[in-house]
């Protein structure tokens, strides 16, 4: 595997379900990100991890719970979601703070989430 991978690619869940999204990067990066992409809205940065430490939480509801066990893996745990949470969830990685402010973010293909 190369680059940034995300699983599953598609997920349908009910409002009472608990599920997790997984992201893995094979680029040796130190920073990982979760974004939400909804129709007609800009990309919304949700969480940022740098060297496994959460450095940003953009007022995301507690029904979204991130986990970063190491610099290569990032999870997004989902529980009691709402229909408006249906979106494409993108994971990205970059060199992070040590790589400078112009370092490129590499994106995974995303997980298309539908909440019924």
Partner 1 sequence: AQSVTQLGSHVSVSEGALVLLRCNYSSSVPPYLFWYVQYPNQGLQLLLKYTTGATLVKGINGFEAEFKKSETSFHLTKPSAHMSDAAEYFCAVSSGAGSYQLTFGKGTKLSVIP
Q: Tell me: does residue 86 bind partner 1 (CB under 8 A).
A: no
* Euclidean distance between CA atoms 28 and 31, whole angstroms: 9
Q: Tell me: does residue 25 bind partner 1 (CB under 8 A).
A: no
Cβ nearer to partner 1, comparing 75 with 106: 106
Distance spanning both ends of the chain, measured CA to CA? 32
Q: Tell me: does residue 96 bind partner 1 (CB under 8 A).
A: yes
Among 32, 68, 92, 113, binds partner 1 (CB under 8 A): 92
Question: Residue 104 carries which DSSP code?
Answer: P
* Euclidean distance between CA atoms 101 and 75, whole angstroms: 25
Q: Tell me: does residue 110 bind partner 1 (CB under 8 A).
A: yes
Residues 51-70, mask of contacts with partner 1 (x by CB under 8 A):
-----x--------------
């Amino acid at each position: 595997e190369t680059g940034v991978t995300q699983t599953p690619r598609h997920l349908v869940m009910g409002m009472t379900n608990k599920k997790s999204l997984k992201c893995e990067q094979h680029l040796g990066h130190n920073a990982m990100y979760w974004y939400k992409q909804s129709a007609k809205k800009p990309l919304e940065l949700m969480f940022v991890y740098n060297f496994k430490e959460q450095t940003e939480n953009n007022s995301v509801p507690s029904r979204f719970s991130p986990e970063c066990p190491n610099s290569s893996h990032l999870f997004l745990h989902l529980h009691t979601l709402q229909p408006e949470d249906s979106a494409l969830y993108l994971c990205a990685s970059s060199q992070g703070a040590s790589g400078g402010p112009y370092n490129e973010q590499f994106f995974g293909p995303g997980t298309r989430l539908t909440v019924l």
